[in-house]
Amino acid sequence: MPQGQPLTVPDDGLSTRQRRNRPLLMVHTGDGKGKSTAAFGLSIRAWNQGWNIGVFQFVKSAKWRIGEQTVLERLGRLHEESGEGGPVEWHKMGAGWSWTKKQGDAEDHARTAAEGWQEIKRRLAAETHDLYVLDEFTYPIAWGWVDLEDVVTTLRDRPGKQHVVITGRRAAPELIEVADLVTDMGKIKHPMDVGQKGQRGIEW
């Protein structure tokens, strides 16, 4: 896409403006680092346009506060105080369950994930947000905690102009098929390959 120009122009009867402003379903997947980071960067760009931002984290523990959460919540407060940018909501979907699933049992985790998805469905129906970040949402889908067919149908048929970005490894083929933009972040090298753990300012 040289200079941001599309390689082809479809014969769909839409004007350039109409085609340019279509709501997008985006998926950031793959084994490489940066899937969530890219989605949060997109959120900051959307905030600058005055969009209403809703972030929904599905896997990271509710006790773990990442740096992007602090930044986006401060931007939300700035909007409340000055009107600059747009409103921001950040939700941990569930009662602190994480990769290790140590808090509660599998049934608890499945229930909280399903409840989180139902809340997102309500917001989509009400057209609450302009941008939804469903962070690490591929995992509860893969684990069977959230119904894949329901997700695909709901996101495909969502009303209005609502953008959605989903992050996480091993995105389901059905989700990739219905998405408008899919990025597969491949890992070539990572410090963990040589035994280095995550560090402040890089991972959180």
Nearest alpha-carbon partner for 166 in 39, 23, 27 = 27
The pLDDT value recorded for residue 163 is 98
162 in Cβ contact with 124 (< 8 Å): yes
Q: Whole-prediction pTM value? A: 0.86
Looking at residue 4, its pLDDT comes to 65
Domain-by-domain residue ranges, the chain? Answer: 27-160
- Residues with Cβ within 8 Å of 197's Cβ and at least 6 positions away in sequence, in order, are none
Beta strands, E only, the chain:
25-29, 53-57, 88-92, 131-135, 163-167, 181-184
pLDDT tens digits, the chain, 204 residues: what are they? 456 677 777 667 666 666 677 999 999 999 999 999 999 999 999 999 999 999 999 876 555 567 889 999 999 999 999 999 999 999 987 544 443 445 555 677 788 889 999 999 999 999 999 999 999 999 999 999 999 999 999 999 999 999 999 999 999 999 999 999 999 999 888 787 788 887 777 776
Q: Give yes or no for a contact between 27 and 165, defined as CB atoms under 8 angstroms apart.
A: yes
CB 137 within 8 A of CB 170: no
Kindly calculate the radius of gyration of the chain based on its CA atoms and give it in whole angstroms: 18
Considering only the top CATH level, what class is 27-160?
alpha beta
Model pLDDT, residue 99: 39
Residue-wise DSSP of 46-59: HHHTT--EEEEESS
Measured from the Cβ of residue 179, the count of other Cβ atoms closer than 10 Å reads: 21
